[in-house]
């Protein structure tokens, strides 16, 4: 018997033979509100099939026979047990090593030299990067590799990368550091030799200890209180804000500015912009912004 369904015997029942479950307007609106309240993600009518498809898998896993039963469960005493799984199901996790390579070139050629210069002037050898929305981990590992390649004598620095995501399933994948070789086309031969270890299966690679030791993976909802104080030198938050409404974007960007050091950099996704959202950042490159001191 489905062990998940045992928790909800009153609303379990026959499942559709195949395909996605149908959803009534009232249940769709309830789920849209719940997702927005929990994550800040805005789901429009156009994304209704996406929501149905992803959550239909949850209904099957729970042994529920309708979206109405699922909504009743979320609104009831068992709802908190399902929230994390629901959030994991609806979030999008498209990423890759060195995705949007111009960001890592800017980091290597502009941002890191500025941090090194500051360290020479002040004697403070401290570097803090944050991958906000790290998904399955390729982004923070790419940051670690760039940091190791671009910082002479990094062992003499207090260097850390915080990698956070809302999706707990993705964080488990990220922490494991195991990836298909075919999914890493932008991982250069040099980086593979230096930072990747072959696994028992030659079709996979494992990120080695040099990059892994720089990163701390943590679950974090960007809409909640942030436990870290900062300041950060660099924040990567790419292809996250496209799912938020304007008010949520404005608030989030303002919080990024608060936790960045003076003249710190914020890197955002290729289809995102800070135009008319904030006056606390100035353009510093292609979808790269510098905090206005």
Active-site entry in 99, 128, 165, 233: 165
Task: Tell me how crowded residue 243 is: count the other CB atoms within 10 A of its CB.
Answer: 20
The CA-to-CA distance between both ends of the chain, in Å, stands at: 60
- 54 has catalytic annotation: yes
8 A C-beta contact, residue 172 and residue 204? no
Q: Which residue has the tokens 């499942």?
A: 15
Distance (Å, whole) CA 197 – CA 79: 42
Alpha helices in 63-137 (DSSP H): 67-75, 79-90, 101-106, 112-122
- 280 has catalytic annotation: no
CA-based nearest residue to 93, from 40, 43, 134: 134
Q: What SS3 class is residue 161?
A: strand
- Rg (Cα) of the chain, in Å, rounded? 21
What percent of the chain is helix, strand and coil (3-state, nearest 5)?
Answer: 45, 20, 35
Active-site entry in 54, 125, 194, 280: 54
Distance (Å, whole) CA 147 – CA 107: 9
Catalytic (active-site) positions: 54, 165
């Amino acid at each position: 018997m489905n062990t998940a369904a045992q928790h909800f015997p009153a609303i379990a029942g026959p499942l559709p033979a195949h395909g996605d479950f149908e959803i009534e307007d009232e249940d769709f609106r309830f789920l849209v509100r719940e997702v927005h309240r929990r994550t800040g993600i805005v789901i429009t009518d156009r994304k209704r099939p996406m929501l149905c498809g992803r959550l239909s898998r949850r209904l099957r896993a729970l042994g529920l026979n309708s979206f109405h039963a699922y909504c009743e469960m979320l609104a009831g005493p068992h709802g908190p047990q399902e929230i994390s799984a629901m959030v994991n199901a609806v979030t999008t996790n498209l990423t890759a090593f060195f995705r949007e390579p111009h960001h890592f070139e800017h980091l290597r050629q502009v941002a890191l030299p500025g941090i090194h210069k500051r360290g020479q002037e002040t004697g403070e050898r401290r570097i803090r990067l944050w991958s906000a929305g790290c998904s399955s981990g390729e982004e923070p590992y790419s940051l670690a590799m760039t940091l190791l390649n671009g910082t002479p004598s990094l062992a003499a620095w207090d260097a850390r990368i915080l990698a956070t995501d809302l999706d707990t399933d993705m964080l488990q994948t990220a922490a494991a550091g195991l990836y298909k070789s075919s999914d890493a086309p932008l991982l250069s031969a040099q980086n593979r030799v230096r930072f990747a270890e072959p696994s028992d299966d030659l079709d996979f690679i494992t990120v080695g200890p040099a990059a892994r030791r720089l990163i701390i993976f943590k679950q974090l909802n960007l809409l909640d209180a942030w436990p870290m104080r900062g300041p950060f030198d660099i924040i990567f938050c790419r292809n996250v804000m496209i799912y938020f409404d304007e008010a949520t974007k404005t608030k989030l960007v303002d919080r990024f500015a608060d936790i960045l050091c003076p003249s710190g950099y914020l890197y955002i996704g290729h289809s995102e912009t800070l135009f008319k959202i904030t006056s606390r950042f100035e353009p510093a490159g292609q979808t790269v912004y510098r905090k206005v001191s």
